[in-house]
């Protein structure tokens, strides 16, 4: 009789140990299987010391820390700007690395410009009949005879608006419309601006626009002049300041206060939500969130995740998928699956899908739909005992790393999807986890500060891997055990324990050397490997010759 352990995988907690597939484990702690062998994870290290950290964001190696759950996204316009939203707070823009912060909403003029005629043009004079000497020819009543009547000057009715413009070329909503003014050709108009930009705002200019009505009756506002923000008045000469481009910011509503879940998307878009309302910014204009782009869900929104041109909208009820290449053509479909999101912190962008915690397990959502991917890993009762509502998660080397509870103890586990999914537990105790897209690293917050998970240059952890329970159906002896591999530390603390019929039978502490087992028969057999070692194969057999087969 011979038992060979040549493939190593993680746990499937819902299955009876006898029913586990080949290579699956009853226990897998601090284990890594990417190379096909059994290896330990490496130790976590402090990346940024600090206390009281509830959330954080890594911007090019600089950690920003927050005292509440916060969503942060890099801007689509410039690499030195990031955008921040925290529940209950007004959205902000931060300039890096200086750290200067501004309200994301750009101030808007609230008072219309006042307008008046500065210089009125002189009307055209009539043309009179003259005699040979150039004098006027009079009619019977003694009045000069008019050959051409005086013609009125062309008349146009205009209204004006103005906007505020920031040092970053953001443009606000327009001011209220001025009173109409009738302007004759050759006249100039004086505009006075009663409204001033708030002190310490990023506004440094104003732009003035005038109305033009087309032959079809459509009125648009066209740019005529840019002024310094402090300019209180401006004289408009229609012959000099010719109309140019149409006002772009007519519908640039500022973001509503209390937006959260900020998520960057393709094509310069960003999305966020408040309650049941989903909002999109104007492409490449993160300060502008037109209300016309908003959509509404049936249930309160918990969080968002973007992949490709799609946006997953996860709610307290059914999830939704939004598809589109621009905010004005986003279409939202509700998925017919009962998979409410129970933790915003559990939502992780995995590339072309997102994973998140539900009442029944971890769900995967993509453009193809949604499903519970841990249905074959955990029973409903097992999952509920892990306190799904408190799950925080991150992405690491293709694995979904998440927090859970084991009774009273806080734990961090991994869902590994190669040939899986399989479950691996770790000795990490995390609160909030954040994946850094640029480096591929995973960070998490603890009482000691921000830690980097499984640092490539870190010391090896001690792993524990326990095989499935092998029921050999009849009482059988095993005489020899060989574990092949290598020590990864000067003190690897390696041991391989053989369990017979549920009790510890024998322990070996040497790698790459066949070890004799005590005599004895057993019906069920298990192997548990511990230590800072890399194991490529383990074999239990009735003789040394069988081991070498």
Report DSSP letters for 403-420, one per residue.
Answer: EEEETTEEEEEEEE-TTS
Report cis status (omega within 30 of 0) of the bond before 421: yes
Domain limit, last residue, from 348, 371, 391: 391
- Residues 130 and 231 grouped into a single domain: yes
Give the start-end residues of each E strand in 289-352: 295-296, 301-307, 310-315, 320-323, 331-334, 348-349
pLDDT of residue 193: 96
Residue 59: strand pairing partners: 62
Q: How far apart are CA 404 and CA 186, in angstroms?
A: 76
- Residues 230 and 307 grouped into a single domain: no
Q: What is the pLDDT of residues 494-505, one digit of tens each?
A: 999 999 999 999
- Residues 376 and 470 grouped into a single domain: no
pLDDT of residue 152: 59
- Residues 230 and 306 grouped into a single domain: no
How many angstroms from the chain centroid is the CA of residue 206? Answer: 33
- How many other C-beta atoms can be found within 10 angstroms of the C-beta atom of residue 520? 13
pLDDT higher than threshold 80 for residue 419: no
Domain limit, last residue, from 373, 391, 409: 391
Closest CA to 388 of 363, 416, 352, 366: 363
- Residues 134 and 228 grouped into a single domain: yes
Residues 6 or more apart from 122 whose CB is under 8 A from it?
Answer: 186
- Residues 127 and 229 grouped into a single domain: yes
- Residues 480 and 380 grouped into a single domain: no
Q: What is the pLDDT of residues 357-393, one digit of tens each?
A: 999 999 999 988 999 999 999 999 999 999 888 899 9
- Residues 226 and 313 grouped into a single domain: no
- Which two structure tokens, joined as six digits, stand for 14? 């819902």
The CATH number of whichever domain residue 508 belongs to comes to 2.60.120
Q: How far apart are CA 53 and CA 228, in angstroms?
A: 42
- Residues 126 and 231 grouped into a single domain: yes
Is residue 472 in a domain? yes
Question: Computed from CA positions of residues 268, 297, 70, 366, in that sequence, does the dihedral angle turn out positive or negative?
Answer: negative
Is residue 131 in a domain? yes
How much is the average pLDDT of 237-266?
94
Tell me the CA distances in angstroms from 40 to 169, 215, 365, one per residue in order.
52, 76, 30
Is residue 264 in a domain? no
pLDDT higher than threshold 60 for residue 151: no
Q: What is the pLDDT of residues 401-415, one digit of tens each?
A: 999 998 778 899 999
Tell me the CA distances in angstroms from 507 to 31, 45, 88, 242, 501, one per residue in order.
20, 32, 58, 91, 15
How much is the average pLDDT of 25-50?
93
Domain limit, last residue, from 365, 391, 417: 391
Q: How far apart are CA 316 and CA 344, in angstroms?
A: 10
373: left (phi over 0), alpha (psi -120 to 50) or beta: alpha
Closest CA to 92 of 78, 110, 71: 71
Q: What percent of the chain has pLDDT over 90?
A: 73
Q: What is the pLDDT of residues 307-344, one digit of tens each?
A: 888 999 999 999 999 999 999 999 999 999 999 999 99
Is residue 170 in a domain? yes
Q: Is 329 helix (H, G, I), strand (E, B) or coil?
A: helix
- Residues 220 and 145 grouped into a single domain: yes
Report DSSP letters for 115-156, one per residue.
Answer: EEEEEPPPPPPPEE-B-TTSPBPB-TTSPBPEEEPPPPPPEE
Q: Is 377 helix (H, G, I), strand (E, B) or coil?
A: coil
Q: How many helices (H) and strands (E) does the chain have?
A: 2, 48
- Residues 310 and 230 grouped into a single domain: no
Is residue 108 in a domain? no
Buried b (16+ CB within 10 A) or exposed e, 530-544: bbbbbbbbbbbbeee
Domain limits for position 179: 114-236
- How many other C-beta atoms can be found within 10 angstroms of the C-beta atom of residue 345? 22
- Residues 215 and 128 grouped into a single domain: yes
- How many other C-beta atoms can be found within 10 angstroms of the C-beta atom of residue 154? 10
pLDDT higher than threshold 80 for residue 485: yes
Is residue 407 in a domain? no
pLDDT of residue 148: 61
Is residue 347 in a domain? yes
Please count the structural domains in the chain. 3
- Which two structure tokens, joined as six digits, stand for 9? 């995988």
Helical (H) or strand (E) element with 196: none
Is residue 531 in a domain? yes
pLDDT of residue 393: 95
Q: What is the pLDDT of residues 80-134, one digit of tens each?
A: 999 999 987 899 999 998 889 999 999 999 999 999 988 776 666 666 667 777 7
């Amino acid at each position: 009789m011979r038992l060979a352990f040549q493939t190593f995988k993680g746990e499937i907690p819902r299955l009876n140990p006898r029913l586990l597939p080949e290579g699956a484990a009853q226990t897998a702690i601090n284990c890594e299987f990417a190379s096909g062998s059994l290896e330990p994870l490496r130790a976590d290290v402090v990346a940024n010391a600090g206390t009281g950290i509830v959330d954080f964001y890594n911007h090019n190696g600089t950690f920003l820390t927050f005292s509440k759950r916060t969503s942060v996204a890099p801007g689509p316009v410039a690499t030195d700007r990031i955008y921040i939203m925290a529940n209950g707070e007004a959205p902000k823009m931060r300039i890096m690395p200086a750290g200067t912060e501004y309200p994301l909403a750009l101030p808007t003029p609230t008072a219309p410009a006042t307008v008046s005629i500065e210089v009125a043009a002189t009307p055209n004079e009539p043309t009179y009949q003259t005699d040979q000497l150039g004098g006027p020819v009079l009619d019977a009543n003694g009045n000069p005879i008019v050959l051409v009547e005086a013609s009125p000057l062309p008349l146009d009715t205009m209204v004006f608006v103005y906007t505020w413009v920031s040092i970053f070329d953001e443009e606000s909503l327009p001011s209220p419309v001025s009173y109409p003014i009738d302007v004759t050709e050759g006249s100039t108009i004086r505009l006075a601006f009663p409204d001033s930009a708030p002190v310490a705002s990023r506004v440094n200019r104003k732009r003035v626009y005038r109305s033009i009505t087309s032959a079809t009756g459509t009125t648009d506002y066209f740019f005529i002049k840019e002024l310094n923000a402090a300019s209180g008045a401006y004289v408009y000469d229609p012959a000099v300041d010719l109309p140019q481009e149409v006002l772009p910011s007519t519908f640039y509503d500022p973001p509503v206060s209390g937006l959260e879940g900020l998520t960057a998307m393709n094509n310069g878009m960003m999305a966020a939500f408040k309650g049941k309302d989903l909002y999109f910014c104007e492409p490449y204009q993160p300060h502008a969130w037109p209300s016309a782009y908003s959509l509404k869900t049936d249930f309160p929104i918990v969080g968002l995740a973007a992949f490709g041109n799609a946006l997953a909208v996860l709610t307290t009820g059914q999830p939704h998928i939004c598809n589109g290449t621009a905010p004005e053509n986003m279409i939202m479909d509700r998925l017919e699956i009962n998979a409410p999101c129970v933790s915003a912190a559990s939502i992780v962008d995995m590339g072309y899908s997102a994973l998140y915690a539900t009442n029944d397990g971890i769900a995967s959502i993509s453009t193809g739909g949604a499903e519970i991917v841990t249905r074959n890993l955990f029973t409903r009762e097992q999952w509920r005992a892990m306190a799904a509502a408190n799950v925080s998660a991150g992405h690491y080397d293709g694995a979904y790393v998440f927090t859970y509870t084991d009774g009273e103890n806080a734990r961090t586990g991994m869902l590994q999807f190669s040939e899986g999914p399989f479950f691996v537990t770790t000795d990490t105790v995390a609160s909030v986890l954040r994946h850094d897209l640029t480096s591929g690293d995973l960070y998490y917050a603890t009482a000691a500060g921000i830690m980097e998970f499984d640092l490539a240059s870190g010391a090896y952890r001690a792993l524990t891997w326990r095989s499935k329970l092998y029921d050999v159906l009849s009482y059988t002896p095993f005489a020899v055990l060989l574990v092949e591999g290598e020590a990864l530390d000067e003190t690897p603390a390696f041991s391989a324990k053989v369990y017979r019929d549920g009790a510890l039978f024998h322990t070996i502490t040497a790698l790459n050397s066949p070890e004799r087992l005590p005599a004895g028969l057993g019906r069920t057999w298990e192997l548990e490997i511990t230590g800072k070692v890399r194991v490529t194969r383990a074999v239990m057999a009735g003789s040394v010759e069988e081991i070498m087969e």
